[in-house]
């Protein structure tokens, strides 16, 4: 069985109960952290997930709410004595900028740093990101202010599929990527450019014929979160839920 643990569900501005959007997909051997906008040290500890169980980091795009925790996480892993490699996957735009950020921190001078392996994802539809015995992950470009990828994560054991929009306005390549997914985690920041409303997330879920919809990356300062569910449910007849921090979902 694989588990999705939501570590943050907020849009770019977190609050005391909602961190910026990031989550972990765990199998028995593989722990995939998706985005890293805040240092996940505390969130992982609270969720009882060890740093060493994180084998892969997928960065969907180079915006602060999705990557700014990565340098601190890398430093924390190093200080905690990590020896095993960490694989980091993302578009060239994102990986090149992360490398520049780490160079600014002069990380090459940090002694005995554990191996960090960068895997560049091509900016093409249904590009292969990662395949192992537990998961097969593909990505397609979305439509945002900077190059971005959405994800299709297949649990190789039971063939269940998770789609993740990342930050995007409704886009045919993302709809095609997530089509038929059992679960779709879709952003609901508000209508674009570069973002989607809850209603648009519902439309995407409907067009992609997914099993159920989880809204994420929403305005946590807004008083009536339940209104987001109502908006999405007008467009999508399946189950709609609002993600919250530390929510666990089976995949």
Does 171 contact Zn ion by CB under 5 A?
Answer: no
Does 65 contact Zn ion by CB under 5 A?
Answer: yes
Residues that bind Zn ion (rule: CB under 5 A) add up to a total of 3
Q: Is the CB of 147 or the CB of 211 nearer to Zn ion?
A: 147
Q: Is the CB of 55 or the CB of 165 nearer to Zn ion?
A: 165
- The distance of closest approach from Cβ of residue 167 to Zn ion in the complex, given in angstroms and rounded to an integer, is 4
Q: Is the CB of 70 or the CB of 77 nearer to Zn ion?
A: 70
- The distance of closest approach from Cβ of residue 204 to Zn ion in the complex, given in angstroms and rounded to an integer, is 17
Q: Is the CB of 65 or the CB of 134 nearer to Zn ion?
A: 65
Stretch that binds Zn ion, among 28-36, 59-67, 80-88, 119-127 (CB under 5 A): 59-67
DSSP string for the chain: --EEEEEE-B-SS--SS-PBSEEEEE-SS-EEEE--SS-THHHHHHTT--GGG--EEE-----HHHHTTHHHHHHHHHHTT--S-EEEEE-HHHHHHHHHHHHHTTGGGSTTPPPEEEEEPPSSTTEEEEE-SSEEEEEEE--SSS--EEEEEEETTT--EEEE--S-S--HHHHHHTTT-SEEEEE-S-S-SS---HHHHHHHHHHTT-SEEEEESB-TTSS-THHHHHHHHTT--SEEEE--TT-EEE-
Does 63 contact Zn ion by CB under 5 A?
Answer: yes
Q: Is the CB of 167 or the CB of 203 nearer to Zn ion?
A: 167
Single out the residue of 134, 167, 203, 231 in contact with Zn ion (rule: CB under 5 A): 167
Residues at the contact surface with Zn ion, assessed by CB under 5 A: 63, 65, 167
């Amino acid at each position: 069985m694989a588990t999705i643990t939501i570590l943050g569900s907020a849009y770019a501005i977190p609050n005391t109960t909602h961190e910026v959007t990031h989550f972990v997909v765990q199998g028995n051997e593989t722990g995939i952290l998706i985005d890293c906008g805040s240092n996940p040290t505390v969130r992982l500890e609270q969720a009882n997930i060890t740093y060493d169980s994180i084998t892969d980091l997928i960065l969907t795009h180079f915006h602060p709410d999705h990557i700014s925790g990565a340098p601190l996480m890398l430093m924390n892993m190093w200080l905690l004595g990590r020896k095993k490699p960490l694989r980091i996957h993302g578009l060239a735009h994102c990986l090149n900028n992360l490398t520049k950020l780490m160079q600014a921190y002069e990380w090459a001078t940090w002694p005995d740093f554990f191996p960090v392996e960068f895997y560049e994802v091509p900016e093409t539809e249904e590009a292969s990101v990662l395949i192992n015995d537990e998961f097969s992950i593909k990505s397609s470009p979305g439509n945002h202010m900077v190059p971005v990828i959405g994800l299709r994560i297949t649990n190789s054991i039971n063939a269940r599929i998770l789609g993740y929009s990342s930050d995007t306005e409704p886009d045919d390549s993302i709809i095609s990527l997530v089509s038929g997914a059992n679960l779709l985690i879709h952003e609901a920041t508000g209508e674009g450019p570069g973002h989607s409303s809850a209603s648009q997330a519902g439309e995407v879920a409907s067009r992609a014929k997914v099993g159920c919809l989880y809204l994420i990356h929403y305005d946590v300062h807004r008083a009536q979160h339940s209104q987001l569910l109502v908006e999405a449910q007008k467009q999508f007849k399946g189950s709609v839920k609002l993600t919250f921090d530390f929510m666990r979902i089976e995949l």
